[in-house]
Structure 1
Amino acid sequence: MALRDSDPAEVGGYRIEDRLGSGGMGVVYLARSASGRRLALKVVHGQYADDDEFRTRFSREVDAARQVSGAFTAPVVDADADAPRPWMATLYIPGEDLGTHVRRHGPLPADRLRELAAGLAEALRDIHRAGVVHRDLKPANVMLAGDGPRVIDFGISRAVGFAPADALTQTGRVMGTPPFMSPEQFTSPHEVGPATDVFSLGAIVVYAATRRGPFDSASPWETATQVVEGTPDLDAVPDELLPFVRLCLEKHPKSRPTPDELLHLLREGRLPEPAPEPEPAAPAPARPRRRRWWLVACAALTALAAVAATAVAVTRDDHGPRYALPAGWHPWHRQAKDPYRGDEAAPSPSDSFTRCAATGTSLVCAGDGVMAARFALSDGSQTWRKPIDPKPTASAATGGGRVFGTGPGGVVYVYGADDEDVPNRNDTTVTHFSVRAVRANTGALLWARTTGSSAMTASGTNGGVFTDSSGLDSGMGATDGDGYAVPVRRGVISVFGDQDQWYALLGAAHGEVLWKRAVPRGHDDDCTLREAGGRPYLRCAAYAKDGAATHTRISALDPSSGEIRWTATVRGSQNLLGQARGHLVLTDDETENTKRTLTLVDLSSHIVTSVRLARSERDATGYVARDTVYFTHYSGSLHCVDPFTGRLRWESDSTVEQPGPPLATTDRVHVASPTGRLAALDTRTGKVMGTAPGRDDGGTSDSADAVHAPLVLVGDALYVPYGIRSVYTVNVKDL
């Protein structure tokens, strides 16, 4: 990376030659000592240097790194924790970090995976013997050196021997990178020990084998829930490493092997025999013991995948930590006020929320053509509400507003549509589509970026048919709820251009266009942006001259560049439902409204397979939740289907009319109606385990088609949007 004008020429007497990268704590430079030795020199960001707690934490990083030998890490050469901008210099390790290597070259082959697992186990043994816990082990912190992997960046490590009363261990902060964090880092961060690094080791090996984490989900909240309660996705992990990975990813810290035991497992094909345990003097309560896991691992090595699957069932910890409710939570229900009240030119206020998103202590909801509003997660209090279109026009049918994701720093992303009358052109309105970043706690607009415009002329009055006076094509979903924008780590990938001929990445900080790519479609293609498993895809359906769908292309997008990584082609017009166990799941959206098959796309090989449904689903809407396909029916019937066999696992009368998108946990699947009636069903049998009644205090939408906002789960608090701009919340444990 090129140096910037603001970068120093030297630090601590070391000459700066290049930028290696920038992270949460500071900037890392390539530096050279007087003798010519190359160093990686980290300089703390200026805004943190005056933070006493941060300075103390950096001092600990230096102390921790110095305690560990350089055989498996980057040894410390020099440091100054008291400098105006603290810095630390370590030996420079040439090569790529594991995350960059896997993104560029794909998953590691089996032999290199085994070397990686052994090298990292050795590194953790060395780190833990020095009394240090890394706590942020992830692919970016693993360098692929010529002599084996090296662990770097002890930025949030802490020495095991620090007293529990230490202020920095009592802050309650959750620190780490969610896809590679352990369950205890979310549920009891004060009690994190060496076993947390072992869990991260297992997650890293899965990533190196599959190019995805074992608990990847669409949002940090979902990822955290999966880490604490979910089953890891290990489908593409080589059989010989499954026992190693499964043991690392056990939920309870005491059930995970030590690095020494993992090395023995890799060398001998089994864990060492445990020392005999003395008989207790009196009966003691049962608790997880490592002996059981050793026996399971040995059996798994003999029978590979089949027995490994049994190991999961036998050793599942049903008494592990669970989420609590948001601080100060109690049941509540609220209706947001109409921000257009009293404005005769306003669009109709009779619209439901279309989506809500939770971040920090806020639940932010947006109504299609109505508003965005903030509810406190704890008590539903509203601190702000506003129209997306501050100056609605008389000729516009609707404005637009839809929350579609969250960003860093407590930001929610909203897709908006502002309508503007064209002077001297009767009944002509220009709609400006935009992506906006809004501070969830205050409603302050961080940035707004116009992504396209379209001129419309009304034929008739009051909701008559609209025609596009400019001939613009909105095929990429400018007005389609789920096809316009997808949040990614660096910002938002959005449709772009007045004819939706581009898609672009808008930066999270300022909404600037970081890259822009042309949509690769034919003249009659209908293209939309989609998200599955937290990754962006481009879906393009092609049509013949007679209007019949011929095929659909699903293209995986590289969020960093916008380039298409690979494309799979499926027959007819198919909708992307989601991701299940390393496969994209699609189903036909035509065929006389009857779904007869599922289509699977393997994310590793990109091979397309078709699975015939055991029972055709007529007039049903399909969803993927926790590796399972659910079909909802207008009558309230809910069908649970295995996506890999097409077998109907169960069908149930949910008691919920017009059920919306299901929300599944490990043992329950929840559905709600437009009026707020809620049902919780057993995921294994479909039995209705609990219900909450519908409500009439929110009113009903004037639309003939019910609007379903997905349910939002924060810990054990379930938030149910219903009626007109209304939300209520319940404790899922009380259903």
Structure 2
Amino acid sequence: MQAFTPLEAGDPERVGPYRIVGRLGAGGMGRVYLARSPGGRATAVKVVHEELAEDPAFRARFGREVAAARRVTGPFTAPVVDADPDADLPWLATAHVPGVPLGTAVATHGVWPERSLRALGSGLAEALEAIHRVDVVHRDLKPSNVLLAPDGPRVIDFGISVAADDTKLTTTGAVVGSPGYLPPEQLVGRSVGPAGDVFALGALLAYAATGTGAFGGGPAHGVNYRVVHEDPDLTGLHGELAEVVARCLAKDPLRRPGTLELVEELGRWEEADGTHGTFTRATWLPAPVAADLTALRAAPLPEEAPAAAPADPDLPTVTVGVAPTAVATARLGAPPQRASLAARLRRPALRRRTAVLAAAGTLVTLAVAAALLLPGAFSGSSGGSGGAGGTGSPTATAKQLAVQELWSREQGFNGRPVVAGGKVVVEGGDGALHALDADSGDTEWTYDELGGGADLVGVSDGLVVAYDSSGTVHAVDLDSGKRAWSVGAGPHTAPGTEFNLYLRVVVAGGTVYVNAMYDLPEDDERYGTYAVSALDAATGRLNWTRPVEYGLSHALAVEDGVLYGGMWEKGGTYFYALDADSGDQLWRYRTGEEIGGEVTAIEVSGDTVYAGDSRGVLHAVDAREGTRRWSHQPDVPSVEWFPSLVVTDGVVLGSTGFNDTGYVHAVAADSGKPLWTEQLLGEPVPHATGDGSVLYSSDTGTLYARDLRTGRPPAQTRLSTGDPAAAVDGDRVYFDGGDGRLHAGRISLTST
């Protein structure tokens, strides 16, 4: 976001000569601050993340890109005014544009008329011409990198978005950029030039015209497949404008128009009164967007950084970050009303994690019994009337949430820790699995036999399950750290194909279930093929496999001998149930009539299975018959349910997100009736419930507590300076403190 939020503990007071006065947002490259220059000019300062700063290749590339970006001048760019690539944490400063991000404007107010689309396109094309003129290619043009101002759009983040190339971010073969805006030549590993930015411009115009994008939504691999192999959906675009966008989205970069050609074609606009040109009037923006922008720009910028609130000496605190900063527990009263758009625009951007694989929910259940979670700490929260649809009796007593640090260890790790059997298991940055004593943090064992790094799945029947890049699934004894068995990808890889990656792995009852993607020969016109398979863990023998032509979702779960998952087929998108022993289909439930709206989250409770999809719909389906019980779509601009669903005490808890906003939802399990929704400053992850309350965290580093049925009273505390990757077990929380260390803390929730 480009509207400020207050500073938080651990934020710098100064960066170079710039005085930091607020937060503007965050992304994969760094955090952006609102600052004042020595002369008082409002400036946006981006500070690179510490892990990138440690990479010499990144520093060298960053310095080159910044030097080139400083030569960019143009009316539709935010110029780079200062930088220090050699600082401990490299940074660059650009002119501050108090504008609304394009993604926020479209998500809030819907699609744009032709006049506004032409103005947007011609302004972006002129900005790209200025960037390309000095031999810079943006390579990450997307809705959040386009700010809307009264006199036209502004392109930001050129000169830093490509600096991750040749660094540890891409040495594993990852593609840097945003699905739907990456050109097909980049997705197939070819060089990317200015025509790649033209492709992204076409995708931006299609997004503003349709609200969904030219290649749909959902998981990155599905979007990327459609970019490479399918025609764009330009519904909502007509006539000459549709033809221009179609040429921008041509698969062959040589067939795309140049930026000057686009400025001329898109600038051909005549008002009813004969006025020519797209920026000759202040009405180039849709009226609701212009009104929001006026309100936003009228808000005064902070003159001084607000002083941090003193910590309450009677409360336990948790130390996070590089400096020993005590983070005070927030004391909050009744929940606020939904913020106005102008206020919401001041919130920092949500950083969507793009990891392909996550821990299987059937192996590690984060919901724990009320008797185990925070004994006595959650007393005072109302449990409601006992019915699933009851609203409960909201307590008037404010709650105070605190985390007291128990230990921390120098333990770099990837993903979320798994807590089981008195141990904390983490996937280390060194590619090995590590088990630490949950009480002391002492290392119990290290398993380093995974070739090409580890992807931690979870714990099942006393075994830690993970797989490596070759497709081999390993089971490690939780107590000893010794390998119990391993299963390779060969048995489930069909002749004529090559194993590519696992979309999801689940282990249950001595059987390994996988959703996998396979590569086809180079001369095959298809992008890839898919299959869901079951292998015997003891022998590695293939029990059964079911090929799927179009695609499988990331969601997979096993319960009571039934395997639940999501797939795309020619007739639409489906949620299915298979006999876990034979692979025979028990039923299939259609979630959408088109390919692409796949299931993203699954949780089974009793005789009902709950599935969230990438279109924002939560489905409740009879687990035996596959018939619809109910469906619910929250009234928020969200398009995808995130993987973690929790069902407890008659309530379904989950989270959704879209662009720069995340939401936590509580829904009555028996009826689908919405109980409450909470908007957050990051991607929410539900963790645990107990005694009528729920805990969840976000990737902005905050842990929250709410009443399960009413969402009241709110309480929160800071865990980390970034994504905490938190795991909750009883009254303990284990998390990344943003300082390269794994922290353990004790949670308390008390009345104030």
TM (norm. structure 1) is 0.44
TM-score, length-scaled by structure 2: 0.43
Higher-RCO chain (CA-CA 8 Å, sequence separation at least 6): 2
